[in-house]
Amino acid sequence: MRIVVASAAFLVGCFCNPPADARPLMVSHAGRADYYSVQQAIDALPAEGGNIQIAPGIYREKVKISRSGIHIEGTGRNPEETVIVYGDGAINVGGTARSATLNAAGDEVRLENLTIQNDYALNPANPPSQAVALSVTGDRDVITRVRLLGAQDTLFAGKGPNGRMSRQYFADCYIEGHVDFIFGNAKAWFRKCELHGIANHAVIYTAQSKAAPDEDSGYVFDHCRLSADPAARYIALGRPWRPYATVVFLSTKIDAQVIAEGWREWAPGETNKLSTSYYAEYRSYGIGANPSRRDPRSHQLTPGEAARWSLKAFFGGATGWIPENHQDGTMSKSSR
C-alpha cells in the first residue's frame, strides 16, 4: 500500500501533513484541508490505519476501505450535513457488490455521524436494480449515527471472502429502502436504529442469508423502530435469502402496517425456506405488532429465550471492540 501524502496532495492541489502526524486527516470542499476527496485521504493513511474527519458537504464519489483500523467521522452537527453519495446500480456495473457507494472491507472500521447514499433509484430513467449504499464485510466494524439511504439492497451486512467471520455493530442509525434493504450473512447487532420503508409496491426490511445451520451469522435488532411511508405496500419483516436465515427483533416498535404473518417466503409457491429459518420477536409493539397472527414457523420469545440474544450472548462475551458507552445497551429501556 503506497503512503504518498505529498504527491497525492499535489494531485488535488491541497495542503497536507505527513502521515506520521497523529492528528486526523481533514477532508473538505471549502477552505484549508488535507484532502478534497475521501478516497484520497484513505489512500494516504499509513498501513495501520488512522482517523479521517469530513467537513459538512456533499462528496460525490465511490469509496473503498480495504485496510483495517480506519475511522471516518463527519464533523457536522448531525449526520445529514455530511453526505457521501454515488449512483451505481448492479445492472450497469456488473453485480450488486460493485454498486456500493462505500465499501468497508477492512476490520475494525468505524463510521460515525455521516450519510451514505446510493441515489441510483432517484433517476427515473434508470431501470430497476439493486443499488447498495453501504457494504460492510469487515470484522469488528462499528457504525454509529450513520444514515443509509437507498431503495433496493441499501445495506449489505455480510461476511468477508470465503465466509470469513464478520461481527458488526450498528447503533443510532437510520436505514431506508424497500426490497431486501438490509441483507447479507454477517453476525450483526443493531441497537436503537430506525428502519424506514420507502414508497413501493413491496417493502421487505431484511433478507438475511445464513446458508447452513452451523454458520455463525444472524441479525439482531434491539429496541429499534420500524417505520414506512404511507404509500409503502406489502410490508414484511423479512424473507429468507438462504435457508437458515436468522433474524431476531427485541422490544421493537413497529410503526408500519406489517403483514399479519410478519415474515414471507423468499419466492412464495416456489421455495420452502421459512421452515428452516429462525425468525423471532420479543415484545414487539405498535400498529404492526401482531403476535397471535404471525407465521406459525416464527417464534414469540419468552424472557429467558430473549436473553440468549442479548449483546454479550450474541457475540459470545467478546464485546471489547464495541465502545464502552454501548456496552450497557443490551435489552435496555428504549430511548425513543
User: What Rg, from alpha-carbon coordinates, does the chain have?
Assistant: 20
Whole-model pTM above 0.85?
Answer: yes
In this predicted structure, what is the pLDDT of residue 22?
Answer: 58
pLDDT at 8 over 80: no
Q: What is the mean pLDDT of the chain?
A: 92
Condensed to tens digits (0 to 9), the pLDDT of residues 74-83 reads: 999 999 999 9
pLDDT at 30 over 90: no
pLDDT at 322 over 80: yes
Residue 89: C-alpha distances to residues 35, 39, 59, 98, 100 (Å): 27, 20, 18, 8, 8
pLDDT at 291 over 70: yes
Asked if residue 62 lies in contact with residue 86, where contact means CB atoms within 8 angstroms, the answer is yes
- Per CATH, the homologous superfamily of domain 57-326 is Single-stranded right-handed beta-helix, Pectin lyase-like (2.160.20.10)
Asked if residue 144 lies in contact with residue 109, where contact means CB atoms within 8 angstroms, the answer is no
pLDDT at 9 over 70: no
Catalytic residue IDs: 153, 180
Condensed to tens digits (0 to 9), the pLDDT of residues 156-198 reads: 999 999 999 999 999 999 999 999 999 999 999 999 999 999 9
Under 8 Å CB-to-CB from 122, ≥6 apart: which residues? 87
In this predicted structure, what is the pLDDT of residue 328?
Answer: 65
